Structure 1
């Protein structure tokens, strides 16, 4: 019989993994070629991340997803 692990007070609980096939519920995310990638707290941080990728990989379609409004905006 397996016992549940006992967590020490100093040890944080394991973080629940983020699923890449589901949109985030809050904040902003970058969508690369239709796939959710990184999540951000602000739209500026998401756009900055996308703008760093665009010159290096110009063939990518990069969008910014607003979870509150559930809207995708193409980064040009």
Structure 2
């Protein structure tokens, strides 16, 4: 017997962010030289970065600003 599978919802295409390409807008976390998460405002990026650094102090956590294309350490 074969069961038929019906899709109830259409799947949305995923927005894939490559870790080796710098984002064009917003702020991103850079952990040990790799782009990780993307945020729209700097405050959110700093909060998550500080929480991550608090749990894992051996990591190098930077905030990347796409507008100025600079990386700054957490304060």
Q: TM-score band (shorter)?
A: 0.7 to 0.9
Which residue does the alignment assign to 2:71? 72
* Alignment of structure 1 residues 16-55 onto 2, 5 Å: 16-55=15-54
Aligned length: 67
Q: CA deviation at 1:14?
A: 1.3
Distance in 2 of aligned mates of 1:51 and 1:33: 14
5+ residue gaps, structure 1: 1-9
Query: Could you tell me the TM-score, scaled by structure 1's length?
Result: 0.79
Query: What is aligned with 1:58?
Result: 57
5+ residue gaps, structure 2, are 1-8
Shift of 1:15: 3.0
Structure 1 segments, 4+ long, off by >2 Å, are 10-13
